[in-house]
Structure 1
Amino acid sequence: MRHRSVADLMTSNAVSVQRGTAFKEIVRLLDEYGITAVPVIDAGDRPVGVVSEADLLRSRPPGSRASTAEALMSSPAVIAHPEWSAVKAARVMEGHRIKRLPVVDDSGRLVGVISRSDLLKLFLRGDRAIQEEILEDVLTRTLALSPSAVTVGVDDGRVTLSGTVPRQSLIPITVRLCETVDGVVDVTARLACKRDDAPGGLARSGGSHV
């Protein structure tokens, strides 16, 4: 299974500003491009900080002298790399309570920006594409199950699995693998098993919700 990476989802040629960019120019850029933050780069195109709408609003008390990007920015910049998974980028955003990450190459130069809205594009993936990946990659290639053993239904990203698997222990594994497929919102397993190899004994159906 190949999951879409930051490189697949990010906005390339991202809007950026220099350390000396003025307050009003930053406001103009945010409004013009419909964004909520902009990376601040040095002479080598390396992000040194980020100016957000919140930074701009904090700078406006009477007597404030924060008039350039360097004075306004939150620093150091929290960055992402193109090869990161979308999940890793989302966790970094959540951990730092930010909405956008500058994306840098191996030399630290800015190559794009990824935002929460970019990550949400994963969930616009069509049901047919999700179904095909689960059938071909998860069930057939990874778990070596017969294509006729499990029926996969997908409705707006919600996956329903029905059928029979060889062992009870495969049910939670199948669910977890399906949950990792890009675009999946929820997984429900209505699966029986031919042999109960789980501690405790009785065969049962499994289910999961995310």
Structure 2
Amino acid sequence: MSDFEQRSAEKEARSTTPGRPWTPRQEPHQDALRRYLTAVAAAASARSAEEPEPAAGREKPEPPAAAAPEPPAREPAGLRVRDVMQVPAASVPGDMPFLDVAHALAREQVSAVPVVDADDHVIGVVSESDLLAKAAVMAEPRRHGPVGRLWQHRLYDKSHGDTAATLMTFPPVTVHPAERVADAAWTAAHARLKRLPVTDHRGRLVGVVSRSELLRALIRDDTEIQTEVESLAAQHLLVPHSVQVAVENGVVTMTGRLDRALVPALLAAVRDIDDVVAVVDEIEAA
């Protein structure tokens, strides 16, 4: 992650921090959000490490013609956008009138839809904010004062349009079906978008993925983590039931009686499991 992206992420985290303490009912959401941001940041760091910047005065080297296949990744890092996207995806044509676009958003119960051309290529995205700006101009055509005229000049000009193509935001931010879920989550977070159109290599719409779907894919349920920890314990121990496992918000608590010589390797293996936030060792010596 670059210094600029790091500062942007810190600014975003500060802006989303509530002005008052989290209530007990909100704490699980806070923990899930922290785990989500950690996963996204890890994906961004890994991508930066895999793609080093070229030296000054040199062009970025081309990838080899026949690269060796990557080893299979562990879930959820191995999940791809195609595994979590919605199909089919709702869309509107570029010549759809303003009121029909508003009805389409209400009918689909979404906050934004891709705008496509006659060949189903995604040319932009029209959202509730675009329609609100249009509705505001219809209600009050003239904006008062120099600040009102200059503030978000592009949005003000765009709001005079009457069709999806003239109201939409472009160029669109899209992802590919084969893209990693973690990378798509970073794209959504960086662009501050709730929904991302999914396009094929020709830019044609094939689906849509939301932030909530990316979040669920990145953060596994505690029950799933517990199942994996218990399976791992069965591989490490001759008597798997000698250790009991409990998981809450990604924190694994291990209790029971066991030869202390076996504990360090077991705990290290558990810490390496995806989405494990911490491991609490309450194992007694046998």
TM-score norm. by structure 2 comes to 0.54
The percentage of counterpart residues that share the same residue type is 36
2:154 aligns with none
Q: Does 1:152 align with 2:245?
A: yes
Superposed, which structure 2 residues align to 1:1-210 within 5 Å?
1-3=74-76, 4-60=79-135, 61=137, 62=141, 64-122=159-217, 127-136=222-231, 139=232, 145-146=236-237, 148=240, 151-155=244-248, 157-162=249-254, 164-166=263-265, 171=268, 174-179=270-275, 187-191=277-281
Q: 1:31 to 1:97 in 2, by over 3 A?
A: same
Q: Indicate the structure with greater helix content.
A: 2
| CA contact 2:225–2:250 (8 Å) conserved in 1 | no
Gaps of 5+ in 2: 1-73, 143-158, 256-262
Q: How many residues align?
A: 179
SS state of the match for residue 166, structure 1?
Answer: helix
In the alignment, the residues of structure 1 paired with residue 182 and residue 273 of structure 2 have an alpha-carbon distance, to the nearest angstrom, of 14
Aligned AA for 1:153? A
Q: 1:21 to 1:150 in 2, by over 3 A?
A: farther
Q: 1:93 to 1:123 in 2, by over 3 A?
A: closer
| CA contact 1:6–1:114 (8 Å) conserved in 2 | yes
| CA contact 2:251–2:280 (8 Å) conserved in 1 | no
Q: 1:83 to 1:159 in 2, by over 3 A?
A: farther
Q: 1:45 to 1:146 in 2, by over 3 A?
A: farther
Aligned AA for 1:39? P
Shift of 1:110: 0.7
SS state of the match for residue 15, structure 1?
Answer: coil
1:111-152: per-residue Cα shift (whole Å, max 9, x none)?
Answer: 11111232344489654333223444xx479xx744748653
In the alignment, the residues of structure 1 paired with residue 229 and residue 93 of structure 2 have an alpha-carbon distance, to the nearest angstrom, of 46
| CA contact 2:181–2:218 (8 Å) conserved in 1 | no
In the alignment, the residues of structure 2 paired with residue 146 and residue 84 of structure 1 have an alpha-carbon distance, to the nearest angstrom, of 37
Q: 1:188 to 1:2 in 2, by over 3 A?
A: closer
Shift of 1:165: 2.0
In the alignment, the residues of structure 2 paired with residue 140 and residue 107 of structure 1 have an alpha-carbon distance, to the nearest angstrom, of 47
Highest Rg: 1 or 2? Answer: 2
- Superposition RMSD on alpha carbons, in Å? 3.1
1:3-56: per-residue Cα shift (whole Å, max 9, x none)?
Answer: 243222211111101111111111001101100000011222111110011111
| CA contact 2:229–2:270 (8 Å) conserved in 1 | no
| CA contact 1:134–1:178 (8 Å) conserved in 2 | no
Q: Indicate the structure with greater strand content.
A: 1
Q: 1:100 to 1:151 in 2, by over 3 A?
A: same
| CA contact 2:253–2:282 (8 Å) conserved in 1 | no
